[in-house]
Amino acid sequence: MSALHAAAWAVTEVSLRLGTAAPSPSPSPVRQLEDYEVSPGIAGFVATFALVLVAILLFLSLTRHLRRTTHNAQAQGLPVAEPRRVRPGRPGDGRGDGGSAASTGGDAGGSDGGGGGGE
């Protein structure tokens, strides 16, 4: 156990000596950078442009695959639910949930609750 105590004592003494060492002058003299030296430049533009281009291609691919899936399901006779279209209420009219189809001028007798009127 004496070796363990000696190691712990050495670590404690080293940490105390480092903590009481004289700090270096602060702030250290640093050269001021110009605006063009810290801007992303051409590399940042190309990286951002590539990321946006990949995202657009991914969204187009997703849309194409969703349409193909819907078309194949309809061709096989599977029931496909139409997307529910929600019209948000105008601010101040008391309808925070978008209202109902009848109150927005939609088809009140429709079975899907959406679609319809005036657009």
- For 61-110, how does the pLDDT look when each residue is reduced to its tens digit (9 = 90+)? 999 999 999 999 999 999 888 878 888 876 665 555 554 544 444 444 44
Distance separating alpha carbons of residues 31 and 24, to the nearest angstrom: 17
Domain coordinates of the chain in residue numbers? 39-80
> Each residue of 33-59: b (16+ CB within 10 Å) or e?
eeeeeeeeeeeeeeeeeeeeeeeeeee
Task: Report pLDDT for 108.
Answer: 47
Tokens 């496909």 belong to: 80
What are the residues whose beta carbons fall under 8 Å from the beta carbon of 115, sequence distance 6 or more?
82, 85, 101, 106, 107
The whole model's pTM is what? Answer: 0.42
Cβ(50)–Cβ(57) below 8 Å:
no
